[in-house]
Structure 1
Amino acid sequence: MPEGDTVWRTARRLHEALAGRGIVESDLRWPSLATADLSGRRTLEVVSRGKHLLHRFEGGLTLHSHLRMEGQWRIEATPRLQPRWRRSPDLRALLAASEWTALGLRLGMLDLVETRQESDLVGHLGPDLLGPDWDAERAVDNLATSGMPLGEALLDQRNLAGLGTLWTAETLFVLGIHPWTTASQLDRATLEQVVARARHLIDRGRRDAVQSSTGSLARGESTYVHGRSGRPCRRCGATVRVALVGEPTRERTMFYCPSCQGGLGPTDDGRPQRPLGSESGRRRVTGQR
């Protein structure tokens, strides 16, 4: 699932392409929106809220979307828009202005609501790491009272909005914190450090096309642990591992180094893990207990 910095960049591209321009063609391929037509409305702005996108139109309407695991918004030049896009089974939304067309592909959520009702869709989110509502103290309070393992608490968008598995894993590795440590067991200074580091990483990530915690933008060199299970830890040389964090049915994968971060996680069976992509490394993480 895309991280908040990726969604922020998506919102900025959509805003730059469509803000201030009228929609000349609208096609919303979503069961509840099949008869909705945004043609003739002018885009006011497109903003992100955590991992959610809010496309605001004149007349007090907002098109809300969420990318989930595989979604994306693509920008194409309207005069050269190829017919194959309109025929694509992946197309969920088409919004065309005279110069640029936004194509919503494989979207996980799509809603059309009155702008004053946006809170019905995103009001549950905690402070946005990349938003004007960012409040570090409230984010720390939310984590401290969550009662969750810290890795899970950071991924819970009700505590703070925008983090995914990449920036969560990288933040905890850099600080040497075990992802399964209960957040309430950590002192406030440590939680403040976690929040500050997470915001630093995701804020830096929105400025580059390649997300990097190591400082390197080279392929395969951009992360310390995320996506590197079965490979040597860049810090200590031990083997990076991946296991599940979170409640059943809501688990997420967590990459970590047991040597640097306090031992095996409770959901890690300790069996050898080969590098991702290798034949032996394709064992489903969801099969671990």
Structure 2
Amino acid sequence: MPEGDTVWRTAHRLDQALGGKPLLTLELRWGELGGRELLPAATLSVASRGKHLLHRLDTGLTVHSHLKLEGSWRIERTATLPPALLHHPDLRALARCATWSALGLRLGLLEIWPTRQEEARLGYLGPDLLGEDWSTERAVSRLQADRPRPIGAALLDQRNLAGIGTFWASEGLHLARLSPWAPVAEFDRATLEHLLTSIRQVMQQAAQTGIQNSTGFTARGRTSYVHGRSGRPCRRCGQPVRVAAIGEGTRRRTMFYCPACQGGRAPTDDGRPQQPLGAARPSATRRRR
């Protein structure tokens, strides 16, 4: 799922393309929203809040979208917009002004709200690591109120702080040498402040560059220490990186970590050998030999 830095960058690009401009088209292909007349309208701004996108109109409405796992917003020049894109089966939203067009593809959520309701609808979110509302003090307080939970699960809970996903949680905890499964109660305030500050710094860089990396290297395959590297050597100690589940129920996620650097194996890790992601598994015939 795209994380806060990707969503921030998407909002920034949409705002540059559409902000302050009258819309020629605003079409939402989503359930009961399909066919709803939203024009005349102009874009006031497009902003992000954690993993949420808010397209605010001068009519007092906000078009709220969430990318979920597969969604994206694509920007094309209106004059050269390929006609085939207008009939693409994955197109769920279309916003066009005279110069630029924005196409929402495979969006995971699309809604319309009165803009005045934004805070009421998204007020459950914690401080946004890349937003104007960021407060390290408030974010740490929310984490400390979640004392029994594993720190990895608490970081991923958008009610504590908004914008972190499995990439930044895995990388941030590895950089700090903290076990994702250790309860929040084990860490003092200074440790949590340092953790959030370091994660925020690398997220800010990624938001500006468009390259999600924590290592300082942007080449493919070198952008992370542990995320996506199960079965491969830890870049710090050389021992195998592993992946295991964290959280419960619908909040269950995957977490990459190094047992040697981060305090041992996860309680949800069965200890079986893990192949690198994308590696071909042995065929049934080969396994029987």
TM-score > 0.5, shorter chain as reference? yes
Contact 2:29 2:35 in 1 (8 A): no
Aligned position for 1:245: 246
Partners in 1 of 2:237 and 2:62 — Cα distance? 49
In the alignment, is residue 204 of structure 1 matched against residue 211 of structure 2? no
* Alignment deviations for residues 74-123 of structure 1 (CA, whole Å, 9 cap, x no partner): 00111111121111110110111111111000001111111001123311
Aligned position for 1:8: 8
- For residues 35-46 of structure 1, what are the structure 2 equivalents within 5 Å? 35-46=35-46
Q: CA deviation at 1:280?
A: 2.8
* Alignment deviations for residues 49-96 of structure 1 (CA, whole Å, 9 cap, x no partner): 000000001021100000000000000111111121111110110111
Give the TM-score of the pair, scaled to structure 1: 0.95
Contact 1:6 1:206 in 2 (8 A): yes
Q: CA deviation at 1:221?
A: 0.6
- Same amino acid, percent of matched pairs: 57
Aligned position for 1:286: none
- For residues 51-130 of structure 1, what are the structure 2 equivalents within 5 Å? 51-130=51-130
Partners in 2 of 1:118 and 1:37 — Cα distance? 21
Aligned position for 1:284: none
Q: Is there any run of 5+ residues in structure 1 with no aligned partner, and where? A: 282-289
* Matched pairs, number: 281
3-state SS of paired residue (1:206): helix
Q: Give the letter aligned to residue 205 of structure 2.
A: R
> What is the RMSD computed on CA atoms of the aligned residues?
1.1
Q: CA deviation at 1:45?
A: 0.4
Aligned position for 2:227: 226
Contact 1:23 1:38 in 2 (8 A): no
* Alignment deviations for residues 133-173 of structure 1 (CA, whole Å, 9 cap, x no partner): 00100100111111311000000000000001001100000
Q: Give the letter aligned to residue 157 of structure 1.
A: Q
Q: Is there any run of 5+ residues in structure 2 with no aligned partner, and where? A: 283-289
Q: Give the letter aligned to residue 217 of structure 1.
A: T
3-state SS of paired residue (1:158): coil
* Alignment deviations for residues 202-230 of structure 1 (CA, whole Å, 9 cap, x no partner): 11111112111000011111110001100
Aligned position for 2:183: 182
Aligned position for 1:143: 143
Partners in 2 of 1:121 and 1:93 — Cα distance? 21
Q: Give the letter aligned to residue 271 of structure 1.
A: R
In the alignment, is residue 263 of structure 1 matched against residue 264 of structure 2? yes
Q: Give the letter aligned to residue 24 of structure 1.
A: L
Partners in 2 of 1:197 and 1:108 — Cα distance? 30
